[in-house]
Amino acid sequence: MAPILTSNPSRTLLPEPLTPANFAPFGTAICSPLPRDLSIAPQVASLPPHNPAPVLANQNSALKYSPISPLLDHYKDGSPSGTAASARMTMFCCFPRKLRTIAESKPEKEVFDVRILERHPFTNQTFIPVDLSSHSKVGDGEDEPIYLVVVAPTLRGQVATARNAAGERVTIRDPPDLNNVKAFIAHGGQAVTYGVGTWHAPMVVLGRRRVDFVVVQHVNGVEDEDVQEAEFGEGIFVDLGRKGQYGRREEGPPKLWTAKL
C-alpha cells in the first residue's frame, strides 16, 4: 500500500484541454502537426514552421517528424541501486472510472476524486491510446471516451510526512505540490509523455468503454526506483461539470466473456 500523506489541501480542479503549450511544464502532449483532412503529401517548404522540422520519407509518401518526444533513461545517472534499466513497451487496458455525483449542485454535477499520485523518478513514460478516435469530444451522446491527465509539480528538496500500511510515520522526498495539481482533458489523436519524475494520477478514462494504451518507458525492476506513490485524503477533485456529459459507465458486475483463441 502506498504511504498516505498526513495532510492535504482541498482543491477543485477545472480541467483544461491538453495542448503542447499548457502541458510543457509536465512533459509532452503529442498531437499530429497536420490537419486531419490533409491526404496528399505537401511540399515541405509550404508547411508552417515546426520543431522538429519535417522531412520527406518513404519515397515522399510520408512526412517524418523526429524526435517528437524523448525516451529518457535517468537510471544510469542516479538510481541508488545502480541497476541498469531497459526500455519497456507495455499495454494498459484502462476501464472507465467511477465518478462521484454532487447532488446538491443544480444541475447535478460529476467529479473525479484524485486520491493518489505516482511518479517514475528515473524515466519518462508515454501513453499512446489505441483505437480511440480523434473525434472524441465532450457532450451528450458522444460514444467516444476521453482521458484525463492529472499532474502535479514536484516540491524539489522538500519532504512530506506520511503513514505507511503499518501506521508508521514515513517521509516522501520531493513530494507532489498538492496546491498546484492540474487536470487536462485528452482525446483520441493525442498521446502524452509524463516527464521524468513527474507526479501523475494513474490513467483516468471517462466514457462508456475501455481504452487501451501502449505505454513506453524504462524499468530496472527495483520497485522503489521504478515507481513511487503518494496517497492522500478526500479534498482534491476534478470538476467535470453537468452529470452525464462523459457518458455513463455500465454499472453492475463485470460481464463474463470467453476469449476466442
Ligand X SMILES: NC(=O)N[C@@H](O)C(=O)O
Binding site for ligand X (CB under 6 A): 118, 125, 200, 202-203, 227
Measured at CB, which residue is nearest to ligand X?
203
- Between 187 and 200, whose beta carbon lies closer to ligand X? 200
How far apart CA 46 and CA 186 sit, in angstroms, is 29
Nearer to ligand X, 125 or 220 (CB): 125
Strands 199-200 and 190-194: unpaired
Task: Please say whether the beta carbons of 62 and 55 come within 8 A.
Answer: no
**C-beta of 26: minimal distance to ligand X in Å?**
12
Cell triple for 49:
514552421
Measured CA to CA, the distance from residue 228 to residue 260 in angstroms comes to 37
Amino acid at 120: H
Name the 3-class secondary structure at 44. Answer: helix
* Of residues 109 and 226, the one with the C-beta less far from ligand X: 226
Assign 93 to helix, strand or coil: strand
Q: Which is nearer to ligand X, 194 or 237 (CB)?
A: 194
Query: How far is residue 180 CA from its own chain's centroid?
Result: 16
SS3 at position 163 = strand
Measured distance CA(181)–CA(178) in Å, rounded: 5
Q: Which is nearer to ligand X, 41 or 227 (CB)?
A: 227
